[in-house]
Structure 1
Amino acid sequence: MSKYKDIADDIENKIHSHFYSEQLPDQHELAEIYATSRVTIVRALKLLSKRNLVKTVKGHGTFIVSKTLPDVFLNFDATDNKGYSHSLQGKLDVSNKLISYKMRMPSNTEVDSLQIEAHDLVYDICRMHAVNQKEINLEYIIIPVNRIPGLTEKVAAQSIYAHVKNDLKFGIGKSSCIVTAQKADSYDIRYLNCQADDPILCLHQKNFLVDGRPFELSESHIRFDRGSVSFENDPLVNQYPLDYEP
C-alpha cells in the first residue's frame, strides 16, 4: 500500500479515537511525525478530505470536519492484496465469524470466471468480520478446491490469505473489482445488525495469483455507516465475478 494511504489511515484512526478532535498538526509537523516529505502529507490530507474527515483552510490549517463520528469506520482498499486480517493486524481488535462453509459444484458463471472445469469443486464460504466487537462486513467467497488445497473450516475462520501465502507459498497478484450499492438483504439484517432499508456497499472482486490464474471470487457487503472503498489511480479491469445465491 502507498505510504500516503498508510498515513491517512493512521490519522483517520486517531480522529475516530479522538486523539485529534479539532485540528491536525501543521503539514511540517506531520511530516516530522511520519518521517516523510510534505508532498506525501499533502496527498494523505487530500485523501482524508475526500473521505469527508478534514477540511484545509488556507493560512489556518487542517480542521476535523464537525460531525458525529461512528465508533468504527474503516476504509477498504480495493487494490490491497494482503487480506483483511493482515491489513488490520496490530491496529484494531479484529475477529471473524464463519457463517457457512461447504464444497459444491460450480455454476456456469463461476466456471468461466475462475477458468476451471464444470466438474471441479469449489469452496463456498460466508463469514462476518467484526472490529472492536462491531459488525463491519459480510464476505461471500468462492475458491476452486484444486487451486487452493487445504482450505479447511479452521483456515476459513481465520485468514485465507495467510494460508495461500504462508502455507502454500503462492504469490498473490492483481485483482479486478466493481463497487455497487443495494438495500440490506436478510443476511445483512441478521449478521450486520442492519435495518431493512439501510444501504449496503457491495465490493465485488476477482483475485489472481501472480502466475495469472484466478483463485478467488468475493463479494463483500459493507455497512454504509462503517466503511468506504478507495482505489489507486491505475485503471482496474472491472468484472462482476460472483454468481452467488444465498
Structure 2
Amino acid sequence: MEQYSNVYWNKFYEEGYVPEEPSSFARFCLSRIQTAQASFKENYLLELGCGNGRDAWFFIRNKVSVWACDICPVAIERVQRKARAEQYPTERFFEADFTEFEKGGLNSHCFAIYSRFTLHAIDEEGARRLLKWASQILPHGGLLCIEVRSVKDPLFHSGRGIPVGKDAFIYEEGHYRRFVRKEELNQELVSLGFDLEAMVESDNLAVLGSDNPVVIRVLARKI
C-alpha cells in the first residue's frame, strides 16, 4: 500500500486528532452486526483500519467479538495499551496491511468485515484485491460494511491535492485519498457475489468538526 504514509498517520494518532466516541457509521451498523453474529456464534468481526479503536471498542462493549488491524504502528501500540487496561486480548489488535490479506495469514472465521474510511486510503488495485479477498473469506450470509468518500465530496473538487491516479490525490503532509464512484463500487460488489442491502451516497453522515464529506455507505451480504 505505497500511498499509505506512516509518517502522516503516526503524527495523526500521536496528536490525538480522532475522537474517542464511536462513529455514526458504527452506530448505524450495530444492530445488523449483532443479528449477523447470532447466526455465526463462533466467528468474529474484522475491522480494517481501526485507528484508535473507537468503533472496535463500541462493538466490543456491545458484545460483538472483534479483531481489528491497522498499518499504523502508533495506532496499534495505543489501542493495545488500552486493551491491556481493559483486559481484552491484545493480539486481537494487530498491525497489518489489509491489501495483502489475499496472500494468507488470516483464517476464515469472520462473519463480518467492517471498513470505515479505509477504502479511500488505498489505491484502486489494492481495493480490488481487498474486495475480492473479502468475497472469498466471508461465509454465505456474511456482512460487509463500508463507508468511503465519494467523488461527490467537495474535497474531490477543491483543487487542493496533487493528482496521483484515477480520482486520487496527495494532500498535506503526504495524506493520500482516492475518491470512489458509487456505480463502480456497486458493480464490483455485485460481480463478487454480494447482495447490496443498503447503499447511500450523501453528506451529513460523517461530520467531524467543519468537515462534512459526501460519503458512500454500503451494507452488503455475501450470497
**TM-score normalized by the length of structure 1:** 0.28
Q: Which has the larger radius of gyration?
A: 1
**TM-score normalized by the length of structure 2:** 0.30
